[in-house]
Structure 1
């Protein structure tokens, strides 16, 4: 871990292990504290945003033991320095990622201001209400939101993120496997691939290098083979989950699909540990019909609002490109389409990749096509 990552890790851990009282929350920082904090470049002071709300989600809604949650951030070796584990840049947005030492939780920075404000101001209350009513929701479980309560130079110049989310790690259990077995785990960040992606589509895809285009969008080269009931459970839950995203005008979210060989969980001593908290089939693992794979799935990256300034600007750019290419229609992008259109295409994508059998044991078609007008009423 480099010096920058170590300092960011230290800032995060200080916030996790410091429980603010209500008096601390209500008391504004002094002028001197603000000035001192502003000149922080890497090690910026972070606080837990609405910590009682997230604690209630963890303990009551998701049934995560609080002591176990806190201990996840400590080193398992006594006397050893506690640090988060840096896992590099896993996304296209420039976010930094860490895992807790026991790999139960993943930490992701939110470097873009419009993502931070959208989640805090528009989505969070709806997210909490939805989770309380749907504790097995497949929206990724966000267990903490850390933020810088005052402006800092580090956040302004981009050397240290001012916001981090702590969320469940659906890959939990991979690190307990041998190195050879870890290579058998597969992950797919799935979005509808029929949108316009300028980095991929303009000028034969020469707008960006291959290393960038490879992270734009994943394609699942197989089918998810489950029972009719398991597919119905997935579609029904995603209908409910995407409804609150549509209502909040969110687009560009993805289905994060994990699969690993079922043989890794069979036999003596090969038990893959389950992610913590209240169990649900698709989150903790479903065995494929042919007994070859175990699938896990959650819904990720729901921080982009269709009506954000960035989305509006990009819509204008796409329209300008179409005009300059004499009316060739290359839009919309996944981040500029309407929320209801994105939801419809997203659900159809999921319906397409999940395969069930008919009564004769042959692969069947769609279990149910979720038209926008029908799915918009699901709650």
Structure 2
């Protein structure tokens, strides 16, 4: 392929010639493709794995060091890329390698990056240098492996296709002088054949309206619009016409791909969008997808799109330095956080999506009444495709071919064209209108949604129904995001804040100051806080939840701040007096997690303490709908009316006292538990009743609040008087029906001792696949604890082993997997704990979960018999919300590994005999 000795043709002074440089580099690149790939047996040296990137080990040779441009490049992960080319993208290998039989075409003077660019003979490939250490370090240490796994799971990704990576680890003079890059990526040219004279147009799109696109924070280079255009384009006054199906699919792909980019913590990426006219007698793209081309709704154009420029990883050293320096300037694309960049990137795709029964501005040539007219308005003219590729961090890492997907759409109204800049964040949770009107999520058709409606009919018999729009549900994923949202919502509340939680951490002074600030700034604001009496006073007379909270009453008065603590009626008298505080919680707790602010409420399993805000993984759903929030507020108020009132009392050592107000709806549970339950049943039961004769459903998303209040219920069968246990059993029983044969489910709980009935229903379901995620011992909050609690983590290992044995007994070891979540070791730097709990069900032929259960329950016998729990069943036909739920599951699986029976034979999983005795004694009823 390559010339034998290009250097022999030149004299020594030729090294200063630009043509000599490009000729020698071109020859070095093409020489890397001379060697055959071979097979697995040809890669005996573990330092050069065929399916992964080799370790970065710099070598030195005295004679080789004086190389300027002629470098010995090798191909990284060659068999991996060969598999992608052949298996995923259907690229003919002979045609691919023949591109390197001939000289590559160099292109220079592009943008600000300083990268070198070459085009293949037919222009189908681009070869681009990666000169920055932090970029190619990220590429090798994280990106190649990450995109390889992502490609297997997501064959329709919009991420730009990378077909090879070339590297040279030998130190050389050209590298020292910075004139000869040692790393190159080969990638698919999305806009092959682009010709502006024939009407082609392209755009490189970023959230410009919020971020200032910069290069390395050099203000002098970004002061002019002309300079900025080299980093991100704006658009002319053009219109893009897509069908509802195309638009919904496009948004789903963007959300899933950007979630992946957030997981690998990259920012500053952009969307490359191209458009070219359809000429007479030309054939439509085959297969039709966003890489090969999608035909417009009016039949006049073909669009291509991919995500590019995602090598800026926030954890690399230069990125960290840039972030620190960026604090001196307004927030930039290279100084923000991955989650925030993703939200701003996606937001703009939401802003141009409108619906109107009368499609104003509808293009005359577009005959389909189901087309969407997307108006893309720029500020400056477009620039060449090559300028995009040369932008600062513009190494295109291809991850997936976009394959066509089938969508069943039933939309009767077209979208009104909106004149917006086409760059893209998540939906605004506060912008919903309640039941009825829907967002742009696509409806489904066929048996899948018939089954979903059957589930809704069953739930209508068990719990009250609330119809919402998908935009009124926001799925949060990280503890820091939960804490930030919590504080923001408290500060913005105008009328009320109601909080129900197990406890508030003893050191949560920042949270207390947030509440105080909100009360000072908003005189009309009232705050009600409910915790558990046993857990909230356990440390007294030392600092505890009660001592942390009573200053709020002292400063703002009882008319604005209400503090309540629920005490279980199961523990009183002599039993309460003799049982140690560390153990008395075993008789029942107030375990609900409700965080409400005006007309919004967060349902979670997280308490309010530092670890839940930093390194304890949980789930958090924000519901921005008035009717649903009002319902949870009524539940909160009812339990407050059955709880002790916390008041300051400086005369006592505790500095507080618990009083039972005469205005409460029942006598104290410590005085007369039977009378307490009778009165509590009369108060709570009406709130749990299903909606009487529910009207025909108008929304594609419904929410059913379900709660478990067994300690409050009088009479026999108290457990079945609540809605949580009955509802979950009803949902899981449907999985045993024949029409659920191709469904799948995911179950997770931080403490792996699920209720026996739940386990039996999951294992005997007709679902084709099921996944259980549980905490590894090192991710258990009791790991390393002193006393009896220290035996709990290995105890859960016994239960995990029994579960896998049951999978083998009931299902022959097939169809159900157990994943163990671990992120470092708790108690050590970087160690996390796992506290997430929930259920997700994906219906037959469904692309993502259509049902989830979120809330406080751990789904144990204890949760259903002893504690107060509050949850929500979310049922949705909206594809966009379904994809968010799928993203939530993927997020939890990120640090989970599959556990097999043979793993329990390892030494680190040996369970002490003391734990086995304890398990036998208590029977794991808690």
Would you tell me which structure has more helix in proportion to its own residues?
1
Deviations 1:23-52 (A, max 9, x none): 688599xx9982232211112111101111
Task: Note the alpha carbon deviations across 1:132-191, whole angstroms, 9 max, x for none.
Answer: 2222211111110000031222122221111100111111233xx7x842xx22121111
Matched, 1:105 2:125: yes
Once the two structures are superposed, residues 81-133 of structure 1 have per-residue CA deviations (whole angstroms, 9 ceiling, x without a partner) of x2101132444322111111011111111111111011111121110111122
Match of 1:77 in 2: none
Counterpart residue number, 2:247: 231
Name the SS of the counterpart of 1:284 in structure 2. coil
- For residues 316 and 217 of structure 2, the distance between their equivalents in structure 1, rounded to whole angstroms, comes to 24
Counterpart-to-counterpart distance in 2, 1:200 and 1:163:
21
Aligned to 2:105: 85
Q: Secondary structure at the match of 1:226?
A: strand
Aligned partners of 1:199, 1:158: CA distance in 2, in Å?
19
| Residue in 2 that maps onto 1:326 | none
- Measured at CA, do residues 354 and 143 of structure 1 come closer, stay the same or move farther in structure 2, by a change above 3 Å? farther
Distance 2:218 2:166 in 1: 38
**Does the CA contact (< 8 Å) of 1:223 and 1:353 recur in 2?**
no
Cα distance in 1, alignment partners of residues 226 and 61 from structure 2 = 40
Equivalenced residue count is 347
CA separation of 1:206/1:254 partners in 2, compared to 1, >3 Å: closer, same or farther?
A: closer
Aligned residue in 1 for 2:599: none
Q: Is 1:377 aligned with 2:888?
A: yes
Q: CA deviation at 1:354?
A: 7.0
1:187 counterpart = 2:207: no
Q: Secondary structure at the match of 1:124?
A: helix
Tell me the distance in 2 between the aligned counterparts of 1:88 and 1:353. Answer: 36
Shift of 1:377: 2.4
Residue 36 (structure 2) pairs with residue 15 (structure 1): no
Native 8 Å contact 2:214 2:231 kept in 1:
no
Structure 2 partner of 1:127: 147
Q: Secondary structure at 1:367's aligned position in 2? A: coil
Aligned-partner Cα distance in 1 for 2:255–2:323: 27
With structure 1 as the length reference, what TM-score do the two structures score? 0.81
Is the partner of 1:216 in helix, strand or coil? coil
Per-residue CA shift, 1:43-64, capped at 9, x if unaligned?
2111101111111111112222
Residue of structure 2 in register with 1:4 after alignment: 21
User: Equivalent residue of 1:107, what SS?
Assistant: strand
Bigger CA radius of gyration: 2
Instruction: Summarize the alignment of residues 250-289 of structure 1 with structure 2, pairs less than 5 Å apart.
Output: 250-263=266-279, 266-267=280-281, 279-289=287-297
Q: Is the CA contact (8 Å cut-off) linking 1:251 and 1:338 kept in structure 2?
A: yes
Give 2:325's match in structure 1, choosing from 317, 340, 343.
317
Instruction: Give the structure 2 partner of residue 216 of structure 1.
Output: 231
Task: Give the 3-state SS of the residue equivalent to 1:2 in structure 2.
Answer: helix
1:42 equivalent in alignment to 2:69:
yes
Question: Following the alignment from structure 1 to structure 2, what is the Cα–Cα distance between the partners of residues 311 and 216?
Answer: 17
Write the deviation string for residues 289-315 of structure 1: whole angstroms up to 9, x where unpaired.
233321100111110011222222222
- Aligned partners of 2:123 and 2:189 also within 8 Å: yes
Contact 2:59–2:171 (8 Å) recurs in 1 = no
CA apart distance, 1:196: 3.0
Structure 2 Cα separation of the partners of residues 225 and 60 of structure 1: 32
Aligned to 1:249: 265
C-alpha contact (below 8 Å) 1:344/1:371 kept by paired residues: no
Conservation of the 8 A alpha-carbon contact between 2:60 and 2:171: no
Instruction: Output the CA distance in 1 between the equivalents of 2:222 and 2:197.
Output: 36
Within 1, Cα distance between the matches of 2:59 and 2:320?
39
Equivalent residue, structure 1, for 2:83: 56
Q: Is the 8 A contact 2:200 2:277 kept in 1?
A: yes
Q: Which residue of 2 aligns with 1:363?
A: 416
**1:17 CA displacement:** 2.1
Q: Unaligned regions of 5+ residues in structure 1, if any? A: 75-81, 322-329
RMSD (Å), alpha carbons: 3.2
Work out which structure has the larger RCO, using CA pairs closer than 8 Å and 6 or more positions apart in sequence.
Answer: 1
Match of 2:299 in 1: 291
**CA–CA distance in structure 1, aligned partners of residues 96 and 243 of structure 2:** 34
What SS class does the counterpart of residue 316 from structure 1 fall into? helix
Say if 2:85 and 2:93, in contact at 8 Å, map to a contact too: yes
Q: 2:313 aligns with which of 292, 302, 305?
A: 305
Provide closer, same or farther for how the CA distance between residues 152 and 294 of structure 1 changes in structure 2, counting only shifts above 3 A: same
Q: Secondary structure, in 3 states, of the residue corresponding to 2:32?
A: helix
Answer whether contact 1:199 1:213 (CA < 8 A) is retained.
Answer: no
CA separation of 1:34 and 1:101: change in aligned 2, threshold 3 A? same
Q: Tell me the distance in 1 between the aligned counterparts of 2:203 and 2:170.
A: 37
* 1:69 and 2:99 aligned: no
Distance 2:217 2:137 in 1: 31
Distance in 2 between residues matched to 1:32 and 1:314, nearest whole Å: 29
Deviation at 1:216, TM superposition (A): 2.2
| TM-fit CA distance, 1:372 | 6.6
Distance in 1, matches of 2:20 and 2:283, equals: 36
**Structure-2 change in CA distance of 1:18 and 1:92 (3 Å):** same
Cα offset for 1:280? 5.0
Alignment match, 1:168: 188
